[in-house]
C-alpha cells in the first residue's frame, strides 16, 4: 500500500510540474459556481454523496493515468495536442477544486464508514494537486481530522505535508535515516506552522 501512495505522489508531482510549466492564464472551472452549488445541495443522501466523490476521484485519476499516457505516446510532449490536453486537465482540476471546496464546507471530510476508499481519497487527491501554499494549508484541518478519524493513513498525510513543504521551501523533505512516518508528520506540521487537532487533546 505504501508503494502505491509513493507512486501516486510521483504521478501527482509530474502532473503539477507540467501544469505549472504550461500554464499562462489561470484555468477556469468547466462548471459555473451556481451549478456546483445546486449540485452540492442535491446531495441529500449518503449514496449521492458517495457517487459525487467517486466521480471526482475517477475523473482525476483517469485523466492523469490513462489519457495522459495515451496523448504522450501518440503526439509527444512538445505537441499542440499535449498542450491542449494540459489546458483541459487544468480546467478539470479547477472544477474538482471548486466541487471539493463546496463539499467540504457543507459536509466536512467523508470519514463515515459507509464511504468507500475512493470517496475518502477524493478530497485528499484534489487538495494534493494544489500548488498554492496557503491554499494547501487552508485545507489542513480537514485532512488532519480525517487522519485522526482514520479516513486517511499516515503515508497520505506525509505526502500532502511533504509536498506543501516543497512548495514553501523549494525542496522535498527527504529523511535519509530510518524513521517512523508519524515522527516526520509531526515534524512537518511544526515546520509548516500548522495546528493539529491532537494539540488540543
**Residue 178 backbone dihedrals phi, psi, to 5 degrees:** -65, 140
Domain boundaries, the chain: 9-129, 132-201
Whole-angstrom distance, CA of residue 148 vs CA of residue 96:
24
| pLDDT of 189 higher than 90 | yes
Which of 199, 188, 197 is CA-nearest to residue 166?
188
| pLDDT of 6 higher than 80 | no
| pLDDT of 199 higher than 60 | yes
Predicted pLDDT at 10: 44
| pLDDT greater at residue 178 or residue 2 | 178
Q: 59-110 pLDDT, tens per residue?
A: 888 877 767 778 888 888 889 988 888 888 888 889 999 999 999 999 999 9
Which of 170, 165, 157, 167 is CA-nearest to residue 191?
165
Q: What band does 12 get if pLDDT is binned at 50, 70 and 90?
A: very low
Predicted pLDDT at 31: 66
Give the mean pLDDT of 105-133.
96
pTM for this model (two decimals): 0.79
How many other C-beta atoms lie within 10 A of the C-beta of residue 59?
18
**In which region does residue 140 sit, left (phi positive, over 0), alpha (psi from -120 to 50) or beta (all else)?**
alpha
How many other C-beta atoms lie within 10 A of the C-beta of residue 164?
26
Amino acid at each position: 500500500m505504501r508503494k502505491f501512495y509513493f507512486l501516486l505522489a510521483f504521478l501527482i508531482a509530474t502532473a503539477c510540474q507540467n501544469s505549472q510549466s504550461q500554464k499562462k492564464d489561470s484555468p477556469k472551472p468547466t462548471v459555473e459556481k451556481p451549478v456546483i452549488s445546486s449540485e452540492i445541495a442535491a446531495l441529500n443522501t449518503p449514496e449521492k454523496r458517495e457517487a459525487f466523490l467517486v466521480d471526482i476521484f475517477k475523473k482525476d485519476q483517469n485523466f492523469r493515468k490513462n489519457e495522459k499516457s495515451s496523448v504522450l505516446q501518440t503526439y509527444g510532449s512538445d505537441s499542440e495536442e499535449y498542450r491542449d490536453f494540459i489546458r483541459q486537465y487544468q480546467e478539470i482540476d479547477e472544477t474538482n477544486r471548486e466541487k471539493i471546496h463546496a463539499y467540504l464546507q457543507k459536509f466536512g471530510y467523508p470519514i463515515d464508514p459507509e464511504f468507500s476508499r475512493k470517496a475518502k481519497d477524493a478530497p485528499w487527491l484534489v487538495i494534493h494537486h494544489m500548488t498554492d501554499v496557503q491554499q494547501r494549508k487552508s485545507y489542513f484541518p480537514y485532512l488532519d481530522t480525517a487522519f485522526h478519524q482514520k479516513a486517511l493513513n499516515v503515508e497520505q498525510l506525509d505526502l500532502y505535508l511533504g509536498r506543501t513543504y516543497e512548495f514553501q521551501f523549494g525542496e522535498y523533505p527527504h529523511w535519509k535515516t530510518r524513521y517512523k512516518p508519524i515522527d516526520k508528520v509531526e515534524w512537518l506540521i511544526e515546520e509548516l506552522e500548522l495546528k493539529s487537532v491532537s494539540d488540543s487533546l
